[in-house]
Chains A and B, each alone.
Chain A
């Protein structure tokens, strides 16, 4: 995926007794934001734990910055982890929790850096409440603060947007994007695909413990040639337009949707685009909207995990 991969997994498998959680997964990830997607039980969190050195692959190797995160503490110092589980907190305040992380990472001014990190995620460093008294979204942001306090080169974010309100999501998505744009390797998993789409277009999709897809999701959509593209066309003459398109053989199928809308299935979006305007002109139809429906991340994700 990148000329200089920061994270490399080669033939990684992980099993627990008879249960295979991850099966022969290989990928590499460079600077920028990459989304690791998959349904529940796909092996994402297990993969994350192996990336952070928390679990040993049963087979294969994981390298972060060229080194083994399980054995090399120099690498894990460069990693920031937002774990999925919420129970990581003792009865510390947000400031104590983040300052502890800063101290463990050997920062010169841990209190000051903790304040900065908390402010960055929109939390009040002076909040005297212990973390268990925080709302779910606040706890989530505290986890993000402890993950970024030491300015890591690699950020591993397991469902970091869970429990956040829309405004907080927008803020954190912007933060993650910025961290990626600054050259850090940000790997994020989320069930909120619309937010993931805003983070960037590079994805790794896992399904049933295996890597089902890797790359830019627009490119992945283009590769899905066994599945027709669906295009919505709004026009003042949908029936005339539908007949003409079928006549020309420009669509595989179509569906009238209301009085002014058509949904077209095509194997070749470019050919359809070339045909659409002349046909509309010939039939005196005005094109009010032309929009591809399933080229978003959710469409790609559904296709990949269901195939």
Chain B
């Protein structure tokens, strides 16, 4: 079946051969069964997650696909870079002049929102729009595994932006002699992972939920931004002008993430609004509940979706 001029003996093993007495052989270049190693189905989740993460970050794609991820990364890493640069280059800089680890999530709110609006729509929408979802689901991925793979990719990429700058800052400060004592590094590392992990979880799950409702990336991106900021505006307005309970501020998602980060690092926020009056457990519970509800919604959407394109 394969054309003779395409056949490469170094890459394609010959099939069963017909041999004459003189030793001449005709090789069967047609379809050959696969009897090699087959990995477990769980491996497909990792494959999908890796493939999706690469696509979202524009890896292996044209330059225009790299612009927005690069922009978001620059916005996210810039405060850390400047902070380290000032610390290293300026002799009389006070510690309070630098961005603290706890404040960082607040400072990169725009980058987090941009990334959330970019990543999950790019991860989910094209598959349904193009019909690739059908090929995934007709293959080794069921709906749950598909959502797991996509969620892992989105969460991983969000971690890059939520944890990456803090790790960079820690590393740079330690190497330049401004960092914490060696004995404090493990604890600080855990705080960074907890802070970045919870922030990434909230942003990733919310954008996944939004993206599961549309096949259009732009619509999902806009809806994600609206979900991050509109409930916040409404809740804060209701709390301030209508004496609504302070707990309503748990829908101010960007502030939930930044306030929890501040608390994880044992710092106090200067002006986070009503949410700063809530207990840490309530904020953590709010973040986890919102994340779980969003992931559940996304999963339920995919349970019901019939791949008909």
B34 near A151 with CB under 8 A, answer: yes
A76 near B1 with CB under 8 A, answer: no
Q: How far is the CB of A184 from chain B (nearest CB, A)?
A: 9
* B51 on the A face (CB < 8 A): yes
B130 near A90 with CB under 8 A, answer: yes
Q: How far is the CB of B3 from chain A (nearest CB, A)?
A: 6
Give Cα A83–Cα B43 distance, bound, in whole angstroms: 24
Q: How far is the CB of B300 from chain A (nearest CB, A)?
A: 15
Give Cα A101–Cα B130 distance, bound, in whole angstroms: 16
Evaluate whether A148 and B31 lie within 8 angstroms (CB atoms) in the complex, with A83-B131, A107-B37, A112-B11 already known. Answer: yes
* B266 on the A face (CB < 8 A): no
For B33, B34, B60, the residue with the greatest tally of chain A CB atoms inside 10 Å of its CB is B34
A76 near B137 with CB under 8 A, answer: yes
Number of interface residues of B (CB under 8 A): 48
- Residues from chain A with a CB closer than 8 A to the CB of B307 are 49, 54-55
B41, B131, B136: the one contacting A85 at CB < 8 Å is B131
Number of A-B residue pairs having CB atoms within 8 Å of each other in the complex: 146
Give Cα A104–Cα B142 distance, bound, in whole angstroms: 12
Give Cα A182–Cα B32 distance, bound, in whole angstroms: 10
- Residues from chain B with a CB closer than 8 A to the CB of A160 are none
Evaluate whether A81 and B142 lie within 8 angstroms (CB atoms) in the complex, with A115-B11, A179-B31 already known. Answer: no
A100, A115, A174, A179: the one contacting B51 at CB < 8 Å is A100
Q: How far is the CB of A36 from chain B (nearest CB, A)?
A: 16
A73 near B309 with CB under 8 A, answer: no
* B306 on the A face (CB < 8 A): yes
A81 near B138 with CB under 8 A, answer: yes
Q: Which of A119-127, A232-240, A274-282 contacts B (4 or more CB under 8 A)?
A: A119-127
Evaluate whether A174 and B1 lie within 8 angstroms (CB atoms) in the complex, with A54-B138, A79-B139, A112-B11 already known. Answer: yes
* A103 on the B face (CB < 8 A): yes
For B7, B138, B142, the residue with the greatest tally of chain A CB atoms inside 10 Å of its CB is B138
A178 near B36 with CB under 8 A, answer: no
What are the interface flags for A81-104 relative to B under an 8 Å C-beta threshold, 1 for contact and 0 otherwise? 101010111110000100011011
What are the interface flags for A105-138 relative to B under an 8 Å C-beta threshold, 1 for contact and 0 otherwise? 1111100110110011110110000000000000
A79 near B138 with CB under 8 A, answer: yes
> B interface, by DSSP: helix, strand, loop or mixed?
loop
Q: Which residue of A lies closest to B307 (CB)?
A: A54
A76 near B138 with CB under 8 A, answer: yes
Evaluate whether A76 and B44 lie within 8 angstroms (CB atoms) in the complex, with A120-B31, A182-B33 already known. Answer: no
Give Cα A196–Cα B40 distance, bound, in whole angstroms: 36
Q: How large, as a class, is the contact surface on chain A?
A: 35 or more
* B93 on the A face (CB < 8 A): no
Give Cα A171–Cα B30 distance, bound, in whole angstroms: 10
Residues of B32-60 whose CB lies within 8 A of A: 32-41, 43-44, 47-48, 51, 55, 60
* A175 on the B face (CB < 8 A): yes
For B37, B62, B142, the residue with the greatest tally of chain A CB atoms inside 10 Å of its CB is B142
* B63 on the A face (CB < 8 A): no
- Can you list 20 pairs linking A and B with CB atoms under 8 Å apart? A49-B307, A53-B137, A53-B138, A55-B306, A71-B142, A73-B140, A74-B41, A83-B138, A88-B131, A103-B44, A103-B51, A104-B44, A105-B139, A108-B36, A113-B36, A115-B12, A119-B8, A121-B1, A122-B3, A175-B1
- Residues of chain A at the chain B interface (Cβ within 8 Å): 49, 52-56, 71, 73-74, 76-77, 79, 81, 83, 85, 87-91, 96, 100-101, 103-109, 112-113, 115-116, 119-122, 124-125, 146, 148-151, 156, 171, 174-175, 178-179, 182
Shortest 7 CB-CB distances between A and B: which pairs? A106-B39, A108-B37, A151-B34, A119-B2, A52-B138, A81-B138, A54-B307
